[in-house]
A = this chain, B = another copy of it.
Amino acid sequence: MTQTIAVLAGDGIGPEIMAEAVKVLNVLKTSDGLDIALEEGLVGGIAYDVKGHPLPPETLALAKRADAVMLGAVGGAKWEPLDISLRPEKGLLGLRSALNLFANLRPASIYPELADASPLKPEIVSGLDILIVRELTGDIYFGQPRGIRTLENGEKQGFNTMVYSESEIERIAHVGFQSAQKRQKKLCSIDKANVLECTEFWREVVTRVGKQYPDVELTHMYVDNAAMQLVRYPKQFDVIVTTNIFGDILSDLASQLTGSIGMLPSASLDANNKGMYEPIHGSAPDIAGKGIANPLATILSVAMMLRFSLGRADLADKVESAVKKVLAQGFRTRDILGNASTSQYKLVNTQEMGQAVLNAL
């Protein structure tokens, strides 16, 4: 049965990197019998420009109907003056929420060929391989009440609500433990249980769920310490599970440890492994339209989609091997070239990198 993939390229470099990912999917369709149909939709700033909303109803309908969603990137300075309810980001948040994509998997691992690109010393990061499991549909991102109100004394006040119910914590904890089972069997849950009751509850529930996974070593860490430890000695971590807002901060931090965020994919999954797949980097307005963005994170997101949503781990492996091969062959977009010399490597643009992957496939 043909599976439908919603292709939402979004803003900035989104369309450029998505084009290469689509080529990869088309090759797999032809040469490996991957039975999929791609359908494009608008999301983010471009959707606002064309349809007046960052998540138009037809895009939402497409995403709901689809078996998986590929997303490029959203946002840009152009739309920052808009009301928060119409910003490109709301398109992304709306998709996460409407599709119930509560489990965000963000690997932060280093390719040996690119270890040099890290701002950290090689001995601190070489071999780094962390998986951050971020809760994605709860917390202060979606909590009510929220807004800006005027107090009785006439003063204005901004407010948001951090909130987690038991079942929300349980389901993400299970994802954390099960992810750890497939890896080094170490799960670190990150909270601020010494100050915030919401995360004191988080810790309590994660601990209880942990009883069902005696083979996984569970530890807890405060978020401020986690930010330090990720810099000090990141290799102490295997899988991290945390809340939406802490996960937002820590996963970006972790990805930067690699120095090659242009290489990092992510998956956002619902309870049935339907998912949305996107590079962890943003829309990079500064280089948009120049054709120099690195498409590998998006192509690796295709691999995650094949593995998690399309049941084709074989093809996921194939795509990941192709990416490793092009790195070994010396192909580098500007972002992963770093200070290395171009005589040593082949500096390529977005399309050339995409082509190198197609060749490797």
Residue ranges of A at the interface with B (Cβ–Cβ < 8 Å): 75, 80, 84, 87, 89, 93, 119-121, 124, 140-141, 143, 146-148, 151, 155-167, 192-202, 223-225, 227-228, 230-233, 245-246, 248-253, 255-257, 259, 261
User: Could you say which residues of chain B place their CB within 8 Å of the CB of A198?
Assistant: 146, 158-160
Nearest residue, chain B, Cβ from A230: B253
Q: How far is the CA of A250 from the CA of B223 in the complex (A)?
A: 10
> With A121-B120, A249-B249, A252-B225 known to touch, is A157 a contact of B166 (CB < 8 Å)?
yes
Task: Give the contacting residue for A245; candidates B124, B192, B256; CB below 8 A.
Answer: B192
Contact assessment for A146 and B197 in the assembled complex, using a CB-CB cutoff below 8 Å? yes
CA distance A157 to B165 in the complex (A): 4
Chain B nearest CB: distance from A117 CB in Å? 10
Most buried by B among A84, A140, A195: A195
Bound Cα distance from A125 to B248, whole angstroms: 24
**Contact partners of A143 in chain B: CB under 8 A:** 159
Give 7 closest A-B pairs by Cβ, nearest first.
A158-B201, A158-B198, A227-B253, A224-B252, A228-B256, A159-B163, A157-B165
B159 touches A161 (CB 8 A): yes
Q: Which among B160, B167, B233, B250 is the interface contact of A227 at CB below 8 angstroms?
A: B250
- Report the nearest B residue to A245, measured CB to CB: B192
Q: A200-B148, A245-B192 are in contact. Are A155 and B162 (CB under 8 A)?
A: no
Cross-chain contact B148 with A201 (CB below 8 angstroms): yes
- Per the bound structure, the CA–CA distance linking A249 and B232 in Å amounts to 14
- Contact in complex: B166, A84 (CB < 8 Å): no
**Complex Cα gap A165–B246 (Å):** 23
Task: For the complex, give the distance between the alpha carbons of A223 and B197 in Å.
Answer: 22
**Least CB distance, A358 to chain B, in whole angstroms:** 30
Bound-complex Cα distance A193 to B89 (A) = 11
Q: Are B158 and A161 in contact (CB under 8 A)?
A: no
Closest residue of B by beta carbon distance from A196: B160
Given contacts A121-B120, A195-B93, A256-B232, contact A162 B164 (CB under 8 A): no
Whether A159 touches B250, Cβ cut-off 8 Å, given contacts A119-B124, A120-B119, A231-B257, is no
Q: Which residues of chain B are near A250, meaning CB under 8 Å?
A: 227
> CA A201 – CA B194 in complex, angstroms?
27
Assess A197 versus B253: contact at CB under 8 Å? Given A155-B167, A165-B155, A166-B155. Answer: no
Cβ of A232: which chain B residues have Cβ within 8 Å of it? 119, 256, 259
Query: Which residues of chain B come closer than 8 Å to A248, judged between CB atoms?
Result: 192, 223-224
A-B residue pairs in contact (CB < 8 Å), sample of 10: A84-B200, A119-B233, A148-B197, A156-B166, A158-B163, A158-B198, A160-B162, A223-B248, A227-B227, A228-B255
The smallest C-beta distance from A231 to any residue of chain B, in angstroms, reads 4
Query: A246 CB to closest chain B CB, in angstroms?
Result: 8
Does the CB pair A165–B161 fall under 8 Å? no
Q: Please tell me if the beta carbons of B255 and A196 are within 8 angstroms of each other in the complex.
A: no
Q: Which residues of B contact A148 (CB under 8 A)?
A: 197, 200-201
Residues of B within 8 A of A255 (CB): 228
Contact with A157, one of B158, B163, B257, B259 (Cβ below 8 angstroms): B163
